[in-house]
Structure 1
Amino acid sequence: MSEEKILLMTDTASDIADEDLIASEIMMLPIPITIDGQGYLERMDFTTEEFYDRLAASKELPVTSHISSFTYEQAYKDAFERGYTHVINVTITSEGSNMFVAAVTGKRQFFEEHPEAVGKMEIKVLDSGSYTLGYGYPLVEAAKMNLKGAGFEQIVDYLEDFFSTVEIHFAPYSLEYAKRSGRIPVAAAFVGDMLGLRPIISIIDGKTTIVEKVRGDKNLIPRILDYARSRCVDKDAPTAIVCGCDPTCGDDAFRQAKKVFGHKPKAIYQAGASIAINAGPKVVGIIVRGAKRVNTRMSEKKLDTLAKEQ
């Protein structure tokens, strides 16, 4: 058993359910969201279901902001005062947010303001290179390792390995929000909806790619699952499902995935604001472990190198 006292930290874009947060003792910081000029904090000022309603009623597309470095600094300070010796903070992909930079800046500010913590608490900030359950799921698994006494380095290695293989494959049931957010050209969105086409989108290392287009909603889940399975290196590796405002999509994907992969997915995650704003509230998808990739995610070393080059 490790004598280290380890805190796992993340942001609300991880879409970890409240019951998992409580059971796993994960600290989740809320992402700021602006809706029609009014500021809110995700999962504090409204539930995910309530956000879907606000999204549908909003005059302008809501906008998310990154958590401030000051908020991170305070979170690290609280952890130190509570006796934690190690913090592992996992952020949404640096490809789509400045969260990683803010988390690292907050870490450096904390140690500057509290030199007494140097040598007594270690903070590791990890860029997940992913969205939603792509880092929410492994964090819950890492928290289980933590509760069983796994060490700091063992948990970091597990997360780094997961992030170097995880792939998200999902699809929106409408291109309206992708069109409004600018994720795909307006003309393509219009033609796609008119023809009943649904894009299957892959997210790997923070980069989104349309890998296929499927005609008709009924063909969407089977095709996503078939494509996802073709990407698996280990067919027996655990999977998990993500869905949006329509839980029946998640239930259907869960049942069908059991047949396609030969085992039940570990969980169904509910997509929060970061996904819903850009892809729409009605989505469905799955995570799988693909081939291991060379690490292109952000790190403190890479961040410092980029700063010197500018």
Structure 2
Amino acid sequence: MAGRTVIVTDSTASLPAEVAAARGIVVVPLQVVIGATVYDEGAEGATPELVAQALRDFRPVSTSRPAPAALLDVYEKAGADGAAGVVSIHLSGEMSGTYESALLAARDASIPVTVVDTRQVGVATGYAALSAADVIDSGGTAERAAEAAGRRAAGATALFYVDTLEYLRRGGRIGAAAALFGGALAVKPLLQIRDGRVANLERVRTSARALSRMEDLLVEAAGGRAVDVCVSHLANPDRAGDLAGRLGERLAANLEGRPVWCGELGAVLGAHVGPGMVAACVAPLLVDGVVPESGSGPASRPQDA
């Protein structure tokens, strides 16, 4: 690590532990509060299964950002180990106070820390961190790494289906999708991350149609570009696996041999969307530091189907 810029992200980035370790990316956990008990997100603390069961049991579930002191400890440890600086890459500041905590910690750090608000959630933030690590691995600067993270995140398309908007409403994360809430029982909402918040994309009449429409929109978003693809779920493995398989087939040329990641959503994000959720992200790879142009991505117009 001596003389190197260290990439830091948070647990909502949904990076597999082995991937983060192999790339030298430090992951800082957010917390989940179930009843009166506080857990760090992760295999030894708050797991997706724990959260899904708590939600089914109608137990109080909330989440908490890492304190600035926790992030400062990470930055200071990197410095003590010889790092020249840190690029700290986090989920949308519109959705969590994690970015704010990172800014406060960066102010007090003894080494330079560049903080990036990806304005994304989930694996789109993880892909941004991986692109930053690519820059560092190739000898690039912290500034270039931060720029790459921002561009990769901005180029990603993240869509998700939920059985109900109730969990998003409870957590105050529903954003522009709030207009859907009154009719949520009559339709199945297909949502997107837009401008750092959850927003309505389309309204469809069945869950099968929602997932089929999601698939089509993600293929459209990929266009002719090389992409990474990830499908996530909370207590919905069969539908997620089916979607991952179809995306893998339809985007085989775009994937260039890379696998479609498919797995359970992290506990923090799961607490806000509830059991049954299926999400997918298509993130074009950077070429010479930028996201290549492609055809038009998914339309943001409402559509009844």
TM range (shorter): 0.7 to 0.9
Cα distance in 2 for partners of 1:186, 1:53 equals: 25
* 2:279 equivalent in structure 1: 285
CA distance in 2, matches of 1:74, 1:178: 31
Asked whether 1:48 is paired with 2:48, we answer yes
Q: Percent identity?
A: 20
Alignment correspondent of 2:116: 126
1:144 to 1:221, Cα distance in 2 relative to 1, 3 A = same
**Bigger radius of gyration:** 1
Partners of 1:189 and 1:267 lie apart in 2 by: 31
CA distance in 1, matches of 2:38, 2:2: 41
Q: Residue 33 of structure 1 contacts residue 63 of structure 1 at CA under 8 Å; is this kept in 2?
A: yes
Determine if the alignment matches structure 1 residue 192 to structure 2 residue 159: no
Structure-1 residue corresponding to 2:237: 247
- SS of residue in 1 equivalent to 2:228: coil
Quote the Cα distance in structure 2 between the aligned partners of 1:250 and 1:232. Answer: 19
Q: Distance in 2 between matches of 1:20 and 1:50?
A: 24
CA positional deviation for 1:268: 2.4
* Cα deviation 1:117-154 (Å, max 9, x = unaligned): xxxx3211111101011111232344355445554344
The structural deviation recorded for 1:188 is 5.3
CA contact (8 A) 2:158 2:192 kept: yes
Query: How many angstroms apart in 2 are the aligned matches of 1:190 and 1:67?
Result: 33
Distance verdict in 2 for CA 1:242–1:141, change over 3 Å: farther
Q: How does 1:224-239 map to 2 (within 5 A)?
A: 224-232=214-222, 234-239=224-229
Aligned residues: 279
> For residue 273 of structure 2, what is the amino acid of its counterpart?
A
Indicate whether 1:273 and 2:267 are aligned: yes
TM-score, with structure 1 as normaliser: 0.79
Aligned to 2:57: 57
Residue in structure 2 matching 1:166, options 156, 160, 168? 156
Q: How far apart are residue 162 of structure 1 and its match?
A: 0.9
Q: Indicate conservation of the 8 Å contact 1:166/1:204, yes or no.
A: no
Paired amino acid for 1:156: A
Contact kept, 8 Å, 1:244 with 1:282, in 2: the verdict is yes
**Which residue is 1:178 aligned to?**
168
2:246 paired with 1:256: yes
Taking the aligned partners of 2:181 and 2:105, their CA distance within structure 1 comes to: 39
1:288 partner amino acid: V
> Which residue pairs with 2:66 in the alignment?
67
Asked if 2 retains the 8 angstrom alpha-carbon contact of 1:17 and 1:269, the reply is no
- 2:20 aligns to what SS in structure 1? helix
Unaligned 5+ segments in structure 2 are: 285-289, 292-305
Give the aligned residue type for 2:105. Answer: G
